[in-house]
Amino acid sequence: MLDIKFVRENPEAVKQNIRNKFQENKLPLVDEVIALDKENREIKQEVEALRSNRNKASKEIGKLMSTGQKEEADRVKKEIAAEGARIDELTEREKQVEEELRNKMLIIPQMIDPSVPIGKDDSENVEIEKFGEPFVPDYEIPYHTEIMESFDGIDLDAAHRVAGNGFYYLMGDIARLHSAVIAYARDFMIDRGFTYCVPPFMIRSAVVDGVMSFAEMEAMMYKIEGEDLFLIGTSEHSMIGKFIDQILEEDQLPYTLTSYSPCFRKEKGAHGLEERGVYRIHQFEKQEMIVVCKPEDSPYWYDQLWKNTVDLFRSMEIPVRTLECCSGDLADLKVKSCDVEAWSPRQKKYFEVGSCSNLGDAQARRLKIRVKGKESRYLAHTLNNTVVAPPRMLIAFLENHLQADGSVTIPEVLWPYMGGTKVLIPKK
């Protein structure tokens, strides 16, 4: 959410930002919030003046009564009563205006960084850099669930019976590999100085409103019936929510945290769910990283976060690339974002395995995350990035480590987490 003062003073810049995001339907919101802001400030001024007059009149009544001027005192009392009714009327209207103003402000997108390429959707995202050499072997790479099935490592039919489409059972070596990657990612981030955390897997609506747009919530979040609770779609939500309504000491910044959680997503929209695969599903586990820092430090941490993911995948011998998200592909709260994509030898192309985002002060403004500086208080900046999210990551892992005989090699960094196993041998 933007600062209303910024919108008031820079309406054309805000409108151009909306155009850059190809959201022309939101352009009227700028004039609407400016009008509401003007009305809100006028109401406050009138209420303040009326209260000041009432205080003066109360003193005057006392003087009139003390000098026996009862009729004049009664007249002043009637004036105060009328002004009191007007104050009540204005106070009620003030609440309505402020609620309407906030609701509209929540829809106006965050100002994007000048470096963000302008484009309508993810087809116009820009490749930044490749890491590792993409390789296509001279033998066929089966579909990822077929690889898993060769190890008796997945049971989709049972999952469909139990929970429906978009769920899975991981079994045996594949389940162990899944857990090994999560454990390795946890230790990888701890070694980089991040504090490990297991957060709540449900959050209240106030936190949901603070960390994401309404459109994102509708497409992603599962609501707990009869409770003011939502299942998290990523631990970023509860991790940033940890700081709601907090005043942080400047010398304690930055907070660098890495968190494990299951994630739950409706996956509504154009992408849909795969019938056979585990690329886009309702439930998965993820290791996340978040940073809460001073505004001037957020560009540095943005680069550090995506590099962590690149380094993690490269340590597991998986080629990746980074892709700068264009303006039309940025969620409304994001200032800047890039995707990390892993190489798929089967598809002969890259696919997304992580997303790194700088949200500026958008979440901090919504959640009231402030920093106590030496001279004044200010809003923190928040950032987040996926460390690793199996089972999607398993697709890249299995395809890049599959051998001609159907076995899967385990990179050295995972040996301790796999009980020393260096090669997975298929059962069929």
Question: Which value, to the nearest 10 degrees, does the dihedral of the CA atoms of residues 139, 141, 146, 147 take?
Answer: 90
For residue 343, which amino acid is it? W
Q: List the structure tokens of 397.
A: 């892992």
Pairing of strands 377-379, 255-264: unpaired
How buried is residue 223: exposed, middle or buried, by Cβ count under 10 Å (0-12/13-18/19+)? middle
Average pLDDT for 310-324? 98
Task: Quote the pLDDT of residue 63.
Answer: 67
Which tops the pLDDT comparison, 72 or 394?
394
376, 407 contact by CB (below 8 A): no
Does 133 lie in the same domain as 82?
no
Tell me whether residue 258 is in a domain: yes
Residues 163 and 246 in one domain: yes
Residue 330 has pLDDT above 90, yes or no: yes
Q: Which of the residue ranges 34-38, 279-283, 287-291 would you say has the lowest mean pLDDT? A: 279-283
pLDDT of residue 270: 46
- Residues 342, 219 share a domain: yes
Confidence at 217, pLDDT banded by 50, 70, 90: confident
For residue 34, is it within any domain? yes
Instruction: Report d(CA 423, CA 298) in Å as an integer.
Output: 41
Question: Over 90: is that where the pLDDT of 74 sits?
Answer: no
Confidence check: pLDDT of 21 > 60: yes
Do both 288 and 386 map to the same domain?
Answer: yes
Q: Write out the DSSP string of 191-259.
A: HTTPEEE---SEE-HHHHHHHS-HHHHHHHPEEPTTSS-EE-SSHHHHHHHTTTT-EEEGGGPPEEEEE
Residues 47 and 135 in one domain: no
Question: Rg for the chain (alpha carbons), in Å?
Answer: 28
The CATH number linked to 304 is 3.30.930.10
The tally of domains found in the chain comes to 2
- Which segment of 104-113, 259-268, 287-296, 306-315 scores lowest on mean pLDDT? 259-268
310 and 345 inside one domain: yes
Angle at 364 between CA 8 and CA 262, to 5 degrees: 140
Same-domain check for residues 368 and 272 = yes
User: What average pLDDT is seen over the chain?
Assistant: 93
Answer yes or no: pTM beyond 0.75. yes
Instruction: Tell me how far apart the alpha carbons of residues 418 and 422 are, in angstroms, rounded to a whole number.
Output: 8
Decide if 48 is inside a domain.
yes
Residue with the two structure tokens 């005192």: 73
Q: What percent of the chain has pLDDT over 70?
A: 95
> Residues 204, 331: contact at Cβ < 8 Å?
no
Q: Which pLDDT score is estimated for 405? A: 97
131-180 pLDDT, tens digit each: 999 999 999 999 999 999 999 999 999 999 999 988 999 999 999 999 99
Per residue in 174-201, pLDDT tens? 999 999 999 999 999 999 999 999 999 9
| pLDDT tens, position by position, 224-277 | 999 999 999 999 999 999 999 999 999 999 999 999 999 999 976 545 555 578
Query: Could you tell me if residue 117 is inside a domain?
Result: no
Mean pLDDT of the 62-73 span: 71
- 420 CB burial (10 A radius; 0-12, 13-18, 19+): exposed
Domain boundary among 105, 136, 152: 105
173 with 318, same domain? Answer: yes
Asked, for residue 115, whether it belongs to a domain, the answer is: no
**So what's the pLDDT on residue 348?**
96
| Cα–Cα distance measured from residue 44 to residue 46, given in angstroms and rounded to the nearest whole number | 5
Q: Domain span at residue 47?
A: 4-105
